[in-house]
Amino acid sequence: MKNYFIADRVSEAVNKAFESHTATRSIYRKKGGEGEITVIDFRRPDSSKYAVRYVLAGSAIYITGDIGAAVFQLTEKADVAELAKYNFSYFASKLVTSDQPDAVFLPEVFAAEIKDDLNLDVPANVRSQLVEAARQCDGNRSIWQGKVASLYGQNKLSSAIYHYAYGLWNDRCASFPLYAWFQGLRFSAEQFWLDAQ
Protein backbone atom coordinates (compact mmCIF):
# COMPACT_ATOMS: atom_id res chain seq x y z
CA MET A 1 0.00 0.00 0.00
CA LYS A 2 1.49 3.32 -1.06
CA ASN A 3 1.46 6.27 1.29
CA TYR A 4 1.15 9.55 -0.59
CA PHE A 5 0.03 11.67 2.34
CA ILE A 6 2.98 14.07 2.13
CA ALA A 7 2.24 15.07 -1.46
CA ASP A 8 -1.52 14.98 -0.84
CA ARG A 9 -1.22 17.42 2.06
CA VAL A 10 0.96 19.76 0.05
CA SER A 11 -1.42 19.56 -2.93
CA GLU A 12 -4.43 20.39 -0.76
CA ALA A 13 -2.61 23.33 0.84
CA VAL A 14 -1.58 24.72 -2.56
CA ASN A 15 -5.07 24.39 -4.02
CA LYS A 16 -6.53 26.19 -0.99
CA ALA A 17 -3.92 28.95 -1.17
CA PHE A 18 -4.63 29.51 -4.88
CA GLU A 19 -8.46 29.45 -4.69
CA SER A 20 -8.88 33.11 -5.65
CA HIS A 21 -5.77 33.59 -7.79
CA THR A 22 -5.89 34.87 -11.34
CA ALA A 23 -3.14 35.16 -13.92
CA THR A 24 -2.09 38.06 -16.10
CA ARG A 25 0.42 37.77 -18.89
CA SER A 26 2.69 40.37 -20.47
CA ILE A 27 4.89 39.60 -23.47
CA TYR A 28 7.93 41.71 -24.23
CA ARG A 29 9.62 41.30 -27.59
CA LYS A 30 13.22 42.26 -28.16
CA LYS A 31 13.99 44.84 -30.82
CA GLY A 32 14.27 43.23 -34.20
CA GLY A 33 11.77 40.53 -33.20
CA GLU A 34 14.41 38.06 -32.01
CA GLY A 35 13.23 36.43 -28.82
CA GLU A 36 10.70 37.40 -26.24
CA ILE A 37 10.19 37.45 -22.51
CA THR A 38 6.86 36.43 -21.01
CA VAL A 39 5.93 37.64 -17.53
CA ILE A 40 3.07 35.90 -15.74
CA ASP A 41 1.72 37.34 -12.51
CA PHE A 42 -0.35 34.80 -10.60
CA ARG A 43 -2.03 36.30 -7.56
CA ARG A 44 -5.20 37.25 -5.79
CA PRO A 45 -6.54 40.58 -7.05
CA ASP A 46 -6.81 41.96 -3.51
CA SER A 47 -3.65 40.58 -1.90
CA SER A 48 -0.04 39.65 -2.48
CA LYS A 49 -0.34 36.58 -0.24
CA TYR A 50 1.06 33.61 -2.17
CA ALA A 51 1.65 35.84 -5.21
CA VAL A 52 3.98 34.36 -7.81
CA ARG A 53 5.74 36.00 -10.76
CA TYR A 54 7.08 33.81 -13.54
CA VAL A 55 9.54 35.22 -16.06
CA LEU A 56 9.93 32.92 -19.06
CA ALA A 57 13.00 33.82 -21.10
CA GLY A 58 14.40 31.44 -23.66
CA SER A 59 14.66 28.06 -21.97
CA ALA A 60 14.78 29.50 -18.44
CA ILE A 61 12.06 30.21 -15.90
CA TYR A 62 12.78 32.75 -13.16
CA ILE A 63 10.31 32.69 -10.28
CA THR A 64 9.89 35.26 -7.52
CA GLY A 65 7.15 36.08 -5.09
CA ASP A 66 5.68 35.60 -1.69
CA ILE A 67 6.64 31.93 -1.48
CA GLY A 68 10.25 32.22 -2.57
CA ALA A 69 12.48 32.41 -5.59
CA ALA A 70 13.81 29.81 -8.00
CA VAL A 71 15.42 29.25 -11.36
CA PHE A 72 14.47 26.38 -13.67
CA GLN A 73 16.40 25.44 -16.81
CA LEU A 74 14.51 23.56 -19.51
CA THR A 75 15.73 21.77 -22.62
CA GLU A 76 13.15 23.61 -24.73
CA LYS A 77 11.71 27.10 -24.98
CA ALA A 78 9.80 28.02 -21.83
CA ASP A 79 6.19 28.25 -22.98
CA VAL A 80 3.30 28.24 -20.51
CA ALA A 81 1.09 26.00 -22.68
CA GLU A 82 3.86 23.41 -22.94
CA LEU A 83 4.80 23.69 -19.27
CA ALA A 84 1.21 22.85 -18.33
CA LYS A 85 1.74 19.43 -19.95
CA TYR A 86 4.70 18.58 -17.67
CA ASN A 87 4.22 16.20 -14.79
CA PHE A 88 5.44 17.30 -11.38
CA SER A 89 8.44 14.98 -11.32
CA TYR A 90 9.76 16.29 -14.64
CA PHE A 91 9.15 19.91 -13.65
CA ALA A 92 10.94 19.39 -10.32
CA SER A 93 13.91 17.82 -12.10
CA LYS A 94 14.47 21.11 -13.98
CA LEU A 95 15.05 23.09 -10.76
CA VAL A 96 18.52 24.67 -10.81
CA THR A 97 18.42 26.70 -7.60
CA SER A 98 15.96 27.97 -5.04
CA ASP A 99 15.86 29.76 -1.73
CA GLN A 100 13.35 27.14 -0.50
CA PRO A 101 13.82 23.51 0.57
CA ASP A 102 13.06 21.17 -2.31
CA ALA A 103 11.25 18.58 -0.25
CA VAL A 104 9.33 17.69 2.83
CA PHE A 105 11.10 14.50 3.71
CA LEU A 106 10.04 11.92 6.27
CA PRO A 107 12.72 9.21 6.10
CA GLU A 108 10.61 6.46 7.67
CA VAL A 109 7.72 7.03 5.26
CA PHE A 110 10.11 7.19 2.29
CA ALA A 111 11.88 4.02 3.43
CA ALA A 112 8.56 2.20 3.90
CA GLU A 113 7.46 3.17 0.40
CA ILE A 114 10.72 1.91 -1.08
CA LYS A 115 10.26 -1.35 0.78
CA ASP A 116 6.68 -1.71 -0.53
CA ASP A 117 7.41 -0.59 -4.09
CA LEU A 118 10.53 -2.65 -4.59
CA ASN A 119 9.52 -5.77 -2.71
CA LEU A 120 9.34 -8.04 -5.76
CA ASP A 121 11.77 -6.28 -8.10
CA VAL A 122 15.01 -6.18 -6.11
CA PRO A 123 16.87 -8.78 -4.04
CA ALA A 124 16.30 -8.36 -0.30
CA ASN A 125 19.90 -7.26 0.42
CA VAL A 126 19.77 -4.49 -2.21
CA ARG A 127 16.30 -3.43 -1.07
CA SER A 128 17.73 -3.16 2.46
CA GLN A 129 20.55 -0.96 1.13
CA LEU A 130 18.03 1.34 -0.57
CA VAL A 131 15.92 1.57 2.57
CA GLU A 132 19.03 2.35 4.63
CA ALA A 133 20.09 4.97 2.05
CA ALA A 134 16.67 6.62 2.42
CA ARG A 135 17.19 6.81 6.19
CA GLN A 136 20.73 8.18 5.85
CA CYS A 137 20.20 10.86 3.21
CA ASP A 138 18.66 13.27 5.75
CA GLY A 139 16.43 15.04 3.27
CA ASN A 140 19.21 15.64 0.77
CA ARG A 141 18.30 14.70 -2.80
CA SER A 142 21.93 14.67 -3.95
CA ILE A 143 22.93 12.15 -1.29
CA TRP A 144 19.94 9.91 -2.16
CA GLN A 145 20.67 10.03 -5.88
CA GLY A 146 24.39 9.45 -5.24
CA LYS A 147 23.63 6.31 -3.21
CA VAL A 148 21.29 5.03 -5.94
CA ALA A 149 23.91 5.73 -8.62
CA SER A 150 26.52 3.90 -6.55
CA LEU A 151 24.31 0.79 -6.30
CA TYR A 152 23.69 0.96 -10.04
CA GLY A 153 27.42 1.32 -10.69
CA GLN A 154 27.99 -1.85 -8.66
CA ASN A 155 25.51 -3.67 -10.95
CA LYS A 156 23.09 -4.20 -8.08
CA LEU A 157 20.18 -2.45 -9.82
CA SER A 158 18.65 -2.99 -13.23
CA SER A 159 18.35 0.07 -15.44
CA ALA A 160 14.59 0.22 -14.82
CA ILE A 161 14.98 0.08 -11.02
CA TYR A 162 17.82 2.63 -11.16
CA HIS A 163 15.65 5.15 -13.03
CA TYR A 164 12.70 4.43 -10.76
CA ALA A 165 14.72 4.87 -7.55
CA TYR A 166 16.68 7.87 -8.85
CA GLY A 167 13.44 9.72 -9.68
CA LEU A 168 11.60 8.51 -6.60
CA TRP A 169 12.57 11.66 -4.73
CA ASN A 170 10.52 13.91 -6.99
CA ASP A 171 7.56 11.52 -6.93
CA ARG A 172 7.38 10.98 -3.16
CA CYS A 173 8.71 14.17 -1.63
CA ALA A 174 7.09 17.52 -2.00
CA SER A 175 7.55 21.07 -0.85
CA PHE A 176 4.88 23.70 -0.74
CA PRO A 177 6.86 26.21 -2.86
CA LEU A 178 7.92 23.69 -5.50
CA TYR A 179 4.42 22.28 -5.91
CA ALA A 180 2.92 25.79 -5.78
CA TRP A 181 5.17 26.99 -8.61
CA PHE A 182 4.17 23.93 -10.64
CA GLN A 183 0.44 24.33 -9.99
CA GLY A 184 0.55 28.09 -10.53
CA LEU A 185 1.87 27.54 -14.06
CA ARG A 186 -0.81 24.94 -14.74
CA PHE A 187 -3.61 27.13 -13.38
CA SER A 188 -2.29 30.08 -15.40
CA ALA A 189 -2.19 28.04 -18.61
CA GLU A 190 -5.74 26.83 -17.99
CA GLN A 191 -6.96 30.38 -17.44
CA PHE A 192 -5.20 31.66 -20.59
CA TRP A 193 -6.77 28.81 -22.57
CA LEU A 194 -10.25 29.56 -21.19
CA ASP A 195 -9.81 33.31 -21.85
CA ALA A 196 -8.97 32.53 -25.48
CA GLN A 197 -12.20 30.54 -26.00
- Residue bearing the bigger pLDDT, 62 or 116: 62
- Residue bearing the bigger pLDDT, 126 or 194: 194
User: How far apart are alpha carbons 130 and 123 in whole angstroms?
Assistant: 11
Strand residues in 58-136 grouped as ranges (E): 60-65, 70-73, 95-98
User: How far apart are alpha carbons 126 and 104 in whole angstroms?
Assistant: 25
Gyration radius (Cα) of the chain, Å: 19
pLDDT digits (tens, 9 = 90+) for 156-189: 888 877 877 777 766 566 677 888 899 999 999 9
What SS3 state is found at 76? Answer: coil
Name residues whose C-beta falls within 8 Å of residue 140's C-beta, 6 or more positions apart in sequence: none
Q: Which of 33-42, 58-67, 125-134 has the highest mean pLDDT?
A: 58-67
Q: Name the pLDDT band for 7 (thresholds 50, 70, 90).
A: low
Look at residue 97 and tell me whether its pLDDT is greater than 70. yes
Going by their DSSP bridges, the two strands 52-57 and 60-65 should be labelled as antiparallel
User: How far apart are alpha carbons 136 and 90 in whole angstroms?
Assistant: 25
Closest of 146, 195, 191 to residue 18, by C-alpha: 191
Q: What is the pLDDT of residue 124?
A: 77
* Cα four-point dihedral sign 116, 117, 119, 125: negative
Look at residue 44 and tell me whether its pLDDT is greater than 90. yes
pLDDT digits (tens, 9 = 90+) for 128-161: 887 788 777 766 677 878 888 888 888 888 887 7
pLDDT digits (tens, 9 = 90+) for 70-80: 999 999 999 99
User: How far apart are alpha carbons 172 and 116 in whole angstroms?
Assistant: 13
